[in-house]
């Protein structure tokens, strides 16, 4: 879990920096909702499978 | 030297057996990473990514947009995080992981929307509050218990198998 946390904190600014080369900071923040939504969907499906 | 000592300890660590003999613990990728926890670890990564992105780019964004006093974001976030954890810890440990994480996801999305659309200081303050809730709820004890509980059960099983 901690490795994941560290990876997120490392990869986030790196990916954000790559995105800001092509767009504004504000748009980059809005784009960074995408990984969170993916994690949300993953967790939702995981919980659904678990409760079956 | 510290790193060398830690590596040495990991490689040479011997688990005492019941009959008094020692057996070398097998070292491999599975002793570092718990495969069953990779999914939840990725969920945690998504939450810490918010922290990383905001820490790295909030001030340049505030300068670009001409928002003054952006540093208050971090102060508010820290204060709310400490207060929320102290006040809500008992309750959060009683509810399930899903009940903890779904509001954390909502707060995380709101954080990024507020920061992304920010054109005044109050956006950043509101985002700080949301970020503190998101971070606090995503790192609840339930999360750790889910991971470590499974990990410890597995350890106990393997130890029981070795002893029999």
pLDDT tier, B98 (very low <50, low <70, confident <90, very high otherwise): confident
| Residue whose structure tokens are 């300890």 | B9
The whole-number pLDDT of residue B10 equals: 59
pLDDT tier, B163 (very low <50, low <70, confident <90, very high otherwise): very low
The whole-number pLDDT of residue A34 equals: 93
The whole-number pLDDT of residue B164 equals: 41
CA nearest to B47 within chain A: A36
B113-142 pLDDT, tens digit per residue, is 999 999 999 999 999 999 999 988 887 655
Are residues B49 and A12 in contact, defined by beta-carbon separation less than 8 angstroms? Answer: yes
The whole-number pLDDT of residue B154 equals: 58
B157 exposure class (CB count in 10 Å sphere: 0-12, 13-18, 19+): exposed
B61-95 pLDDT, tens digit per residue, is 999 899 988 899 999 999 999 998 888 877 877 78
Size of interface A-B (CB pairs under 8 A): 123
| Residue whose structure tokens are 């959060």 | B92
A1-52 pLDDT, tens digit per residue, is 677 788 888 888 899 999 999 999 999 999 999 999 999 999 899 888 877 6
- Mean pLDDT for B34-42 is 77
Predicted TM-score of the model (pTM): 0.74
- Per the prediction, chain B carries an average pLDDT of 78
The H-assigned helical ranges of chain B are: 2-12, 29-32, 38-65, 72-94, 97-116, 121-138, 141-163
Residue B116 has its nearest CB partner, among A12, A30, A43, at A30
Contact A29 B65 (CB under 8 A): no
Residue A1 has its nearest CB partner, among B46, B52, B147, at B147
Q: Which residues contact B40 (CB under 8 A, 6 or more apart)?
A: A1, A4, B143, B146, B147
Residue B44 has its nearest CB partner, among A8, A12, A24, at A8
Element (H, E) at B15: strand B14-16
ipTM for this model: 0.89
Is 50 exceeded by the pLDDT of residue B46?
yes
DSSP B25: P
Portion of chain B with pLDDT greater than 70, in percent: 63
Question: For residue B38, which residues of chain A lie inside 8 Å, CB to CB?
Answer: 4
- Mean pLDDT for B150-159 is 56
Q: Which of B134, B12, B156, B23 is nearest to B85 (CA)?
A: B134
DSSP string, chain A: -HHHHHHHHHHHHHHHHHHHTTS-HHHHHHHTHHHHHHHHHHHHHHHHHHH-
């Amino acid at each position: 879990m901690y490795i994941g946390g560290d990876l997120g904190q490392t990869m986030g600014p790196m990916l954000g920096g790559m995105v800001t080369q092509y767009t504004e900071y504000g748009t980059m923040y809005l784009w960074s909702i995408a990984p969170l939504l993916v994690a949300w969907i993953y967790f939702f499906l995981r919980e659904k499978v678990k409760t079956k | 030297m510290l790193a060398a000592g830690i590596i040495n300890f990991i490689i040479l660590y011997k688990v005492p057996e019941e009959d008094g003999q020692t057996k070398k613990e097998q070292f491999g990728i599975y002793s570092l990473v718990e495969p069953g926890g990779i999914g939840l670890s990725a969920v945690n990564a998504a939450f810490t990514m918010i922290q990383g992105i905001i820490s790295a780019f909030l001030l340049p964004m505030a300068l670009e947009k001409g928002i003054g006093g952006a540093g208050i974001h971090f102060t508010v976030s820290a204060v709310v995080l400490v207060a929320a954890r102290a006040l809500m810890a008992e309750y959060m440990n009683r509810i399930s992981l899903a009940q903890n994480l779904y509001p954390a996801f909502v707060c995380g999305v709101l954080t990024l929307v507020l920061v992304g659309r920010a054109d005044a200081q109050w956006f950043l303050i509101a985002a700080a509050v949301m970020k503190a809730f998101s971070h606090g709820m995503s790192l609840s004890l339930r999360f750790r218990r889910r991971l470590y509980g499974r990990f410890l059960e597995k350890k106990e099983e393997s130890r029981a198998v070795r002893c029999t």
